[in-house]
Amino acid sequence: MRARMRNLVIEVLIAVAIVGLIVFGAYRSPTSDSRVALRWVGMALWTAFAFGYPLARFRPHWRRSIFWLSWAVLLAIHLAAYVFVFHRMVVDMGSLLIFLITMAEMQAIGAVLSRVVRLSANSERVAHL
């Protein structure tokens, strides 16, 4: 139990450090407009939320490389889509809309990871027969 608590504290500190660096970089960027920087800060926070919860939920599968590969592909798709949207967005999306998109995205991430883990486990069982 003590090791679990230590790991949790370390994971939270790493997440806070990463988000802090993103926020710092967004505000220190030479071309940053405070409104644009706020978009990127929001994206960093919502991304941490959308990908952090499924990551914690699938902790037993962290040893599987297929899990990490799937998670990284989903993260890359997410980041590419948001960068594309942010560069073309003229008006700010409302907080409620962003919240709803994040909730839907979190469910989709969980569903994809669940399917990948299940298919991976089935193929491992078949290989051992």
pLDDT tens for the chain, 129 residues long, are 787 778 777 777 877 777 777 777 666 666 656 666 677 777 778 888 888 888 888 988 988 889 989 999 999 998 888 878 766 665 566 777 878 888 999 999 999 999 999 988 877 665 555
> Can you tell me the distance from the alpha carbon of 72 to that of 54, in angstroms, rounded to the nearest whole number?
12
Crossing angle between the packed helical segments 65-88 and 95-128, to the nearest 10 degrees: 160
Long-range contacts of 35-38 (CB under 8 A, 24+ apart): 35/92
- pLDDT at position 5 is 78
Please report, for the chain, the start and end positions of each structural domain, with discontinuous segments joined by +: 2-128
- pLDDT at position 28 is 66
